[in-house]
Amino acid sequence: MQLSYIIWLFFGILISYNIKLYIDSQVQYEIKIDGDSISMNLLGKSIGNHGLEMACKQLQDYINVSKLEINFQLNGLTHIQTLLLTISRFKNLKELNLQLGNNPIQNTTASNVQALLIQLQNLESLYLGLDGLFTHQGRVQIIKSISEMKKVHTLQISLINTDLGDDKIDMLLSLAQMRQLKSLELILMGCSLTASSTKSLQTLLYKLPKLDNLVLNLYGNKIRQDGIDDLSAGLYHQRQVKGLEIELYFNNITSNGTETLMSVTGQMINLTKLHIGLEFNYIEDQGAKHIAQALTNLQNLNDLSINVASKNFGFLGYESILLAIEKIPYLNSLKLIIGVNKCGPRGADLLKKVLFKHDKLKTLILDYTENYIGDAGASFIGEGLLSQRKLEFLKLNLNFNSITDRGALDIVKSIHTLKHQPKHIDLRLSQNKISDRASKEILRYISNITQGIELFEFELLGTALTNATRDDLISTYRNLKNFEFIVDTIPPSYWDEQ
């Protein structure tokens, strides 16, 4: 009986050990080590607490780390004390990027995060993601600890989907104590901010030291006209900034609000970087003209991003923005998101002229979704691309544009003909009328391009391809080096209805 018990106990231990080995083998790590810099990205891997313990063991030997980047969002974590303890041992840490959001971490852990920050007194750059974590009181404790860090000059705090409505946003006011701060990024997406909430932002911007870089992501709130007035009044006290990024997607902003915001922005004559996001507001043609007016004053810009995708302004607003961009002396990065405003082939022709003027771009991102530019417009954009001499990154989204074979081939041929091929290309031609024959020719051109670049991404969804052609393309190109693509078909009756 005793022997039988021992045998069963042995098998039980053996099975448990093998189960542990199997679980360990399922946790996939993406760890990059470069000298005293470590990056670990486990976004959405669902490793759980056991996987976190294993990850921490991977880090224990690197006590001289000066830069640490860890992304553990969406991983089912409830206990992170081991991680926090591991980080606390890095006494030489100067830059920490710690993303913990969207995990069911216990509220009591906020005090542990606070304790960690108190220990990291040599930190100079902090990027902290707390999306949806802890109680309000716990967040107050953490923000207070951050405000007392004497060497941090670069700060990013992400609080996505955290309720900061009413006076809860006041917890950020303590950041004004950081007199050494040079760069501040607040990611406050979906935080229930209203017009009254922006008074606290106004106060914070007024009390902060003079910054070099400012990022405010207020995506998906409802600050409206009064909120824009308060925000703009706060920005007035930071007119010296060199880099400004403001994301105001879906905030019920009108042309009047745009005028207030851009009148202050136009006074920031030191700006070299401007990213402005007003997608799906109510800015209309007049609001676009206010954007254009501000751009005429910003002659030092070299990095410009404008997102005004909206159905409530048309060609006149689009034209004013493009003409203003054309007059900027020099740009090396341009991002235009001008979707769903039906600028048509005339708009694409204007874009061509802008590209002729700014022919030394290193980064070019164009999103012209649902603008009905047709084959003529695609050809204009292709001609504009041919003028580029220094591109390193190209992203072109021409989905839903009534493009047929001729226009699609003109675009691809232009990219193929570029004398200086970008290292990374992202091309999207979905929901256009591209046939079997043209799709095969497009893929042949792309296969030649991929031989000399790092990555080509291609999307061809909802076109007029037959199933046989789709399968042939997947079979032929799925293993092509440096190439990622997605393709499917739709019923022929779809195009008959268009």
Tokens for 75, please give them. Answer: 């991983």
At position 46, the amino acid (one-letter code) is S
Range of the domain at 467: 342-498
In a domain, 477, yes or no: yes
Residue of 270, 421, 397 whose CA lies nearest to 335: 397
163 vs 25, higher pLDDT: 163
pLDDT digits (tens, 9 = 90+) for 96-144: 999 999 999 999 999 999 999 999 989 999 999 999 999 999 999 999 9
For the record, the structure tokens of 450 come out as 């991929």
What average pLDDT does the segment 376-395 reach?
98
- Can you read off the two tokens belonging to residue 39? 């990056």
- pLDDT over 70, % of the chain: 92
Residue 142 to residues 74, 98, 122, 155, 174: CA-CA distances in angstroms? Answer: 21, 13, 17, 13, 11
Instruction: Check residues 42 and 117 and name the one with the higher pLDDT.
Output: 117
Question: For residue 29, what pLDDT is reported?
Answer: 63
> 22 pLDDT band (50/70/90 cuts)?
very low
The runs of H, that is alpha helices, within 219-334 are: 224-235, 255-265, 284-297, 315-326
Question: How high is the pLDDT of residue 23?
Answer: 40
Residue 438 included in any domain: yes
**Looking at residues 376-400, what average pLDDT do you find?**
97
Burial (0-12, 13-18, 19+ Cβ within 10 Å), 22: exposed
- Average the pLDDT over each of 290-304, 426-440, 478-492 and give the range with the smallest value: 478-492
Q: Is the pLDDT at 409 greater than 60, yes or no? A: yes
Query: Pick from 444, 448, 449: which is nearest to 476 by CA?
Result: 444
Q: Please spell the DSSP secondary structure of 419-478, one letter per residue.
A: SS--SEEEEE-TTS---HHHHHHHHHHHHHHGGGSSEEEEEEEEES--HHHHHHHHHHHT
- Residue 6 pLDDT > 70, yes or no? no
The answer to whether residue 471 sits within a structural domain is yes
Model pLDDT, residue 440: 96
Kindly state whether residue 90 falls inside one of the protein's structural domains. no
Chain centroid to Cα 250, Å, comes to: 17
What's the pLDDT band for 3 if we cut at 50, 70, 90?
low
Q: Using pLDDT thresholds of 50, 70 and 90, give the confidence band for residue 52.
A: confident
More confident residue, 494 or 385: 385
The answer to whether residue 24 sits within a structural domain is: no
Q: Which amino acid is at 266?
A: G
Number of domains observed in the structure of the chain? 1
Per residue, what are the HEC states of 32-96?
EEECCEEEEECCCCCCHHHHHHHHHHHHCCCCCCCEEEEECCCCCCCCCHHHHHHHHCCCCCCEE
Distance of CA 351 to the CA centre of its chain: 24
**Residue 134 and residue 79: Cα distance in Å, rounded?**
13
Determine, yes or no, domain membership for 158.
no
pLDDT of res. 95: 98
DSSP element (H, E) containing 495:
helix 492-497
Domain CATH number, residue 400: 3.80.10.10
Looking at residue 302, its pLDDT comes to: 98
Cα–chain center distance at 274 = 15
- Contact (CB, 8 A) for 386 and 417: yes
| Amino acid letter, residue 466 | T
- Please name the residues in contact with 175: beta carbons below 8 A apart, sequence gap of 6 or more: 143, 146, 147, 155, 181, 184, 204, 208
The beta-strand segments (E) located in 88-228 are 95-99, 125-129, 154-158, 183-187, 213-217
432 occurs within a structural domain: yes
* Residue 248 in this model has a pLDDT that exceeds 70: yes
* pLDDT the model gives residue 475: 94
Cβ–Cβ under 8 Å, residues 443 and 411: no
Give per-residue burial for 127-162: e unless 16+ CB within 10 Å, then b.
bbbbbbbbeeebbbbbbebbbebeebbbbbbbbbeb
Instruction: Give the model's confidence band at 10: pLDDT under 50 very low, under 70 low, under 90 confident, else very high.
Output: low
Answer whether residue 314 shows pLDDT above 90: no
Is pLDDT above 90 for 13?
Answer: no
**Phi, psi for residue 33 in degrees, rounded to 5:** -120, 125
User: Is 407 inside a domain boundary?
Assistant: yes
Asked if 284 and 255 touch (Cβ cutoff 8 Å), the reply is yes
- What was the pLDDT predicted at 341? 83
Which pLDDT band, with edges at 50, 70 and 90, does 318 fall under? very high
Residue 10 parent element (H or E):
helix 2-26
The answer to whether 169 touches 113, Cβ cutoff 8 Å, is: no
Structure tokens at 314: 């048309």
Reported as a single tens digit per residue, the pLDDT across 167-225 is 999 999 999 999 999 999 999 999 999 999 999 999 999 999 999 999 999 999 999 99
Distance CA 194, CA 192 (A): 6
Strands 333-337 and 363-367, by their bridges, are parallel
Percent above pLDDT 90 for the chain = 81
